[in-house]
Every structure is written in C-alpha cells, then in structure tokens.
Structure 1
Amino acid sequence: MGVPTTESLSQVYGRDAERARARLAELAARYEERFGAGDPEFFTASGRTEIIGNHTDHNGGKILAASITMDSVAAAARTDDGVVTIWSEGYPEAIVVDTARLGDIAHGPGSTTLVAGMLEAAARRGFAVGGLNAVVSSEVIPSAGVSSSASFEMLVCEIVNHLYNDDAIDRADYARMGQYAENVWWGKASGLMDQMACAVGGTILLDFSDGVSYERVDFGFDELGCDLVIVNTGKGHADLSAEYSSVPNEMHAVAAALGVGNLCETSEDAVLAHLPELRETCGDRAVLRALHYFEECGRVEEAERAIRAGEKARVLDLITASGRSSWEWLQNAVVPGMPEEQPIPLALALTELYLRRIGAGACRLHGGGFAGVIMCVLPKAETAGYVDYISGYFGRENVYLTNIRQVGAACLGRA
C-alpha cells in the first residue's frame, strides 16, 4: 500500500515532508492491519493557535487565529455498507456509526457522539454521507488548548467531503457541522473559532457579530524570523467545564443587563456608563470580563490594521497585551478556589523572565485558559535556548516547536 510522495507532501508540510511521509506509511500499515489490503486516500487537519481574541467568539467578537503545523492525519476509503468505522491511535475500541441508524446513538460525551453528530449535521445541510473505513493518528496535544477535538472533527468533515461530496462543502459548513455535534449531541457549549482555524488554513480574521465570517490575512511568524513554541503546563481541560462556562455566562449577564443578547450589540462606553448597577447585579468579575471583551476586539482590529500596513512586528506587542488582559481582566489563568495550583501563571512568569533577558519575543495564555498551554513567540536564534530553559521546569516532552501552516483540512491524495 503506497503513500503520497515527499514532493507532493512538501506543499503542506514543507521541510517536514519526509517525516510526514513516514507517519503516513505507519498509518497505511495500521489501515491494512485493521481493514485488509486496500487503496485508501490520506487526509490531514491541523490544530490551531489563537493569536489574539481570547474568549470573544461567544459574544459576537473578533479573533485572529491560525492553523498550526501540529495535525491529525487519516487513511480512509469508502465502503458500500453505510457504516463509518474509525480506528484512532491510542484508543482500544473503534468508533462505529451506522449512517442509516443515527437515531439509535445516545447523545453525550465521546468521539462516537461527535462523528454521529457531524454526519447528522451534514445530512441536514443537504450533503451526502455514507460508509467508510478509516484509521487516524494525531500530533495535536489533547485537552491543552490547541483544539485536538476540532482537528479531529475537521478531519472527518474533510473525509466525508472528499469521498461523498466532490470537495464541494465550504469550510464554514465544516465548522458548523462540528459545532452542531458539540452543542446538540455532546451537550458542550462551543463557538466556531476552533473549527474554523483548523479547517481554513493560514491566518484568518474571524468576525462572529453576524453568524460567522472570515477572511485570510497575510501573516505568519516565519516572516518575522520567529518560531511558535507551545508549552503544556501539565494539567488538562477535561474537568473544567464549569470554569469555561462561567466566562460566556458572565459576559452574557452583562449584555442582558444592558438590554441585549451579546456584548457585540452594545459598547464599552455603555458598560462604563452603567458601572455601579452592573457591579451590583452582575458582580465585579463579570464587569472585568466584559471590559476585556471590548479591549480584546479592539486589539484584533489594531492587529489587522498593522498587518495591512506592513507593520507586522506590532502584532507581537498586541499578543503580549492580549495575554496580560486574559490574566488580569478575564481572569482565566487560575482555577478559582485553587490558589495552590497555578501552572499557567508560573509558566508565563518563567517565560517573561526569559524574554526580558533576551529583549525580544512575546508570550500569552493560550486557548480557553485555567489549565493547558501557553504560547511563546521567539526569534529563531533564541528558540533552542528557550526550549532548553522551559524544559527544565516542565519537561522536554511538554514543549512543542510549531508554527503557522497555510493548509488547514485537506486531502493529501494517495500514492
């Protein structure tokens, strides 16, 4: 069973194409082990980085986000029985979903639920679904703020799109299918940012004020001579749903007190004009989180202006300001009631000490917060030194060198 050539993979993976080819060869072997000889095609969907725009999507805000070089990959082929069977590396059981019996699958957490929900969403949106066999492997860090679940979702969408819909499904529909699976089937509140950033590729400017719209923008850390380093602080997101829900809930409470549904329908000036009553009815933290929302959306807009003006290094200053606001105003760096456990602030403090010594770079809390990862943008000449430095505190296995990649979800073809 063959795999795509290094030359063809270089369009997605660049100088890592040979390593990617080795990954796909291992995937092909597992496909043959699970399903026998065949001629599957290969697929990819990236993880994502949120550059600026922490916790703004759920209130109609703006985000600058990008696909990253960490990705999920699959080998997949159509079947005639209408049954979707997916073996995912590291899991003892296959995901099995009969497309003719979606109603028999119980709603709730789990990968089977996600797949069933996406298939239902695709059918509801008028797209074709059908049986397939697939094996999946992922390098996207789970439960750590770089969207391992969204990467998997977008991978499945890409497979269904290519095998059954002649590549006609728009990336925004991918995102809505993933969101539907999470909201309706899993019962997990989520926006569209993770899915969009994993699906589209490159750097995108997202605006959620009227549904979701996006445009690609010309920005990457490579062109600034920088690398992106992700540091996993060691605690996952799995048991923090209440903390994450508190952020949109408190922002929505402020919006409701001002007579609107989302903060995008009001303004920072309105919050300031009604500050005493908002503090009384919603509490100080909710007010601070609302103010973070407006300031954060402003930073996204400023970053867009800087990029278009060719002042791309300005984005690094805005990343630092965004991270500081998340830590101090949004307050999603520490789990409330657990002052003894502060891996995110500790990682940020250690990183700030390093950046101060070299006089360059930027860092911020990454993703949902409370636990998981931080990001650090470093001049390439300083990357190895920082990796050695931060590995001394969090372990080399928890430090990931990555960068923005220009391809999100895609079919890689076959041999």
Structure 2
Amino acid sequence: MPEPDHRARTLGSEAEAAFRSEFGAAPALAWAAPGRVNLIGEHTDYNDGFVMPFALPFYAVAAASKADAWEFHSTFDGGRTVRPGSLGGVEGWAAYLAGVAWALNESGYEVGPARIALHSDVPQGAGLSSSAAIECAVLLALAGLHGHDIARDEAARIARKAENEYVGAPTGILDQSASLLCEAGRAMFMDCRDLSREQVPFRLEDEGLTMLVVDTDAPHRHADGEYASRRADCERAAELLGVASLREAPDGAAVGDDRLDRRLRHVVGENRRVADTVAILKGGAVAGIGELLTASHVSLRDDYEVSSVELDSAVDAALGAGALGARMTGGGFGGSAIALVEAAAARKVETAVAEAAAAQGLPAPRVSAARPAQGAHRVH
C-alpha cells in the first residue's frame, strides 16, 4: 500500500483528534478519499464515452470504530453529532454516511453500528466531488472495521448506489471511480461503456507547469432540469441515428435538428479530444493539451450550452493572462474551471481571474494549484 499523502496524513490526524474529543477514545482506523477534477471528457459519461479525471490533493477523512449504536460527527456544519436510531431516513450530510452503511448491507457486506468522525477539506458545491469523497472514505472505513476486502471497482458501484438510491442524487459512477482508483502523478482514462481504464502519466512539474482550479463560488443554477434536458437531447439524437448511444455516432453525423446536432457535435468532438489528450500525454508533451482544453470549453459553451458567466469569465481571463489552455470542468451552470499554466505565470493568471470577476460584479473566485494526487488510502 502506498504511503499516505502528506495532506491526507495531516487531515487524518485532525480527524482522529475530533474523534477523541467527541467520543473520548482513539478511533480504530481512518481512511482518506480525495475529490476529483475532470481533465477533459465532459457530458460524455452518460453517452458511453470517454472521461479523464485525476484526484485532487483535497480529502475527506473518516475516522471510525465499532460501537453499540450509530453516531456520526462532522467537523463542519457547526461540529454536530447525529445519532440516528436506524439507518433509515437520515438527512443532510449524515445521509451520505448512513447511505453508505445501508448500501454495504444491501450489497451483501454486513456492517454494524459504528462511531464515525468526518473531516474534509474538499470544497463543497464547487463541482469537485465532495460527496463522493465522503462516501468513499466512509465505505472503506466501515469495510475495514468489519473485515471486508472489497475490490475498488465494486466499492465504486456501492458508493454510487448510496448516492443514487439513498441520498437521491442521480449521479454516474465517474466521481466514485476517480476517488477510489486514481493514482498520484497520473490522470485516469476511463471508457464509460465497459469501465475499462488506464493510468496515464500526467506529471506537470516535469515541464514546469501547474494546473489551477478555479472555484467560481457560483451556484449550479437550474442544474437538475438542464442536465435532464441535455441527456434527453442525446438520447433523442441517438434514436434518430439508430445507434445505442452517441458513442457510436461517426464524425460529421447529423440528424437535421439544430439543437440536437449541436449536442451531437459536442459529444463526438469531446470523445475525440479525450483520445487526443491521451496520445499527447503518453508522448510526454503535457503543454500540448492546452488547445484541447480550450476547444472543450468552447464546445461546452456554444454547442452544449452548459457554461455560465462566471465560468466564461474565469476561462477568458486565464487565457488572456497567458494560460496554455482553460475550460470549465464538471456538469456546468456554475462550479469550477481549470487552467493549465506555466508555474512561473500562476500568480499572474490567478490575479487576472480575480480582477475579471470583480470587474463584472461576480463572486470572488477561490484559486488553488492542483497536482494529480493519490486515490483513497488508509491514514491510520
């Protein structure tokens, strides 16, 4: 097992301290699971296409011990402790913990009551998979307490079951897979049709580069209805083309409807951009992916229509300040953008993004430098 990530180890110590303070004893173990950013490959997952996430150096940590009754404590939300009488009907942040326990039992991995202290520095509401990080950390902690050795692929399916069927969020499996399976220094190329994957070298520092993650602090406006609309558009386009999914659509395909053809053009083009990104990274020329990132954003903005004024501001300002490439990341309508920059220019780009937001009266963005971090691992 790899050595714990330094940041994860620090958060693990903080989670253990919170456990001791709340429950009066040391936890039996603690697991950390990261948030993620999608390098490229957006709105392709439900079209059986290609995605390419990497884990962020932000982690959720679950410190846990067996107990006589369920007790959930978090260091956020005012440091509350929730003591549900059963695993049914739990709401708020505690629903992710109860949901994972429920999903494990439903999947044949029996787990009993436990005390869990949850600590996380994954930004919430930024489109960086804070909920998946929590689910994966809790799942591995509960599995460890009860001696279950669960393959990471299956763990991702169980965590998604918790989010889909217990919490009620209709997410795919990308977020949980990234949190559990990504590796340090690599981006994970995944085929969403068969869930096969390949770890592709993505060592920014070798070329003097860094990746900036820009949390625009913008809410995901109308996201649920718009996501459903985009998915329906894709399904209709596939039906008109006579294919099972837009993964099978050839280059240049069209159905004669302007809106559907724009959705189709994005999905086909985005799959091609992911494949091109893989080829460039395998060749060791990280800077060469910049144009593909920017082309992805243009397609998401114009053809898929899922960007926002905040995301466009961040991308345009980053490119104007010299970024090699930039794009929105995640589902859109708010959330975060990424920018590939020369490390020496990172401060200039960050300043430009902040000034552009201020000039338009937008929320002040939070910018952090990211590296491809280690997937879920034990920290105690």
Contact 1:222 1:403 survives alignment (8 Å): no
- Give the letter for the 2:58 counterpart: M
Distance in 2 between residues matched to 1:45 and 1:326, nearest whole Å: 29
DSSP 3-state at the match of 1:87: strand
Q: In the superposition, relative to structure 1, how do residues 45 and 397 fare at CA in structure 2: closer, same or farther (>3 Å)?
A: farther
Cα deviations by residue, 1:270-328 (Å, 9 ceiling, x for unpaired): x32xx32xx1xxxx223211211111111111122222233333222222222221112
Q: Which amino acid aligns with 1:172?
A: D
Q: 1:313 to 1:85 in 2, by over 3 A?
A: same
**Aligned residues of 1:254 and 1:290 also touching (Cα < 8 A):** yes
Would you say the 8 A contact 1:227–1:401 is kept in 2? no
The change in CA–CA distance for 1:136 and 1:400 in structure 2 (over 3 A counts) is farther
- Read off the aligned partner of 2:191 and give its amino acid letter: D
Q: How does 1:3-402 map to 2 (within 5 A)?
A: 11-14=3-6, 20-21=9-10, 23-79=11-67, 81=68, 83-92=69-78, 93-96=80-83, 101-102=86-87, 104-105=88-89, 110-166=92-148, 168-202=149-183, 203-210=187-194, 212-237=195-220, 240-269=223-252, 271-272=253-254, 275-276=255-256, 279=257, 284-334=258-308, 342-355=309-322, 360-394=323-357, 398-402=365-369
- 1-structure distance, mates of 2:173, 2:20: 35
Q: State the distance in 2 between where 1:383 and 1:236 align.
A: 25
Secondary structure of the structure 2 residue equivalent to 1:143: coil
Query: 1:394 offset after TM fit, Å?
Result: 4.6
Q: Which runs of 5+ in 2 are unaligned?
A: none
- The one-letter amino acid of 1:94's match is T
CA contact (8 A) 1:162 1:411 kept: no
State the distance in 2 between where 1:257 and 1:330 align. 18
- The structure-2 alpha-carbon separation of the partners of 1:267 and 1:250, relative to structure 1 and needing over 3 Å to count, comes to same
Structure 2 contact 313–357 (Cα < 8 Å) conserved: no
Q: For 1:247 and 1:129, how far apart are their aligned partners in 2?
A: 38
The one-character-per-residue Cα deviations of 1:360-406 (angstroms, maximum 9, x if unpaired) are 52211111111111111211111122223333445897323232334
In structure 2, the partner of 1:4 is none
Q: Which amino acid aligns with 2:99?
A: G
> How far did 1:111 drift?
3.2
Q: Tell me: CA distance 1:328–1:165, structure 2 relative to 1, closer, same or farther (3 Å).
A: farther
How far off is 1:207 after superposition? 0.6
TM-score, L = length of structure 1: 0.82
Q: Tell me how many residue pairs correspond in the alignment.
A: 372
Between stretches 314-323 and 23-32, larger displacement belongs to 23-32
After the TM superposition, list the runs of 4 or more consecutive aligned residues in structure 1 that deviate by more than 4 angstroms: 95-98, 393-397
| Aligned counterparts of 1:409 and 1:294: Cα–Cα separation in 2 | 32
Give the SS at the match of 1:370.
Answer: coil
Cα pair distance change 1:238/1:97, threshold 3 Å: farther
TM-score (norm 2): 0.89
Q: Quick one: which amino acid aligns to residue 331 of structure 1? A: E
The CA deviation at 1:130 is 2.2
After superposition, the Cα gap between the structure-2 partners of 1:225 and 1:86, relative to the gap in structure 1 and judged at 3 Å, is farther
- Corresponding letter in the other structure for 2:192: F
Partner AA of 2:70 in structure 1: V
Asked whether the 8 Å contact 1:303–1:315 carries over to 2, the reply is yes
* CA distance in structure 2 between the aligned counterparts of 1:386 and 1:216, rounded to whole angstroms: 29
Shift of 1:410: 1.0
How far the C-alpha of 1:38 sits from its partner, in A, is 2.5
In structure 2, give the amino acid aligned to 1:243: E
Conserved 8 A contact 1:122-1:128:
yes
Contact kept in structure 1, 2:36 and 2:175, CA below 8 Å? yes
For residues 397 and 198 of structure 1, the distance between their equivalents in structure 2, rounded to whole angstroms, comes to 27
What one-letter code is carried by the residue in structure 2 that aligns with 1:354? A
Give the RMSD, CA atoms, in angstroms. 2.6
Q: Deviations over 1:2-59 (max 9, x none)?
A: xxxxxx99x4435x58xx53x4443333212211122442321111010110110011
* Unmatched runs of 5 consecutive residues or more in structure 1: 1-7, 335-341
Equivalent position amino acid for 2:105 in 1: A
C-alpha change, 1:215 and 1:123, in structure 2 (3 Å) is: farther
Q: Deviations over 1:234-287 (max 9, x none)?
A: 212275211222222211121123334422244345x32xx32xx1xxxx2232
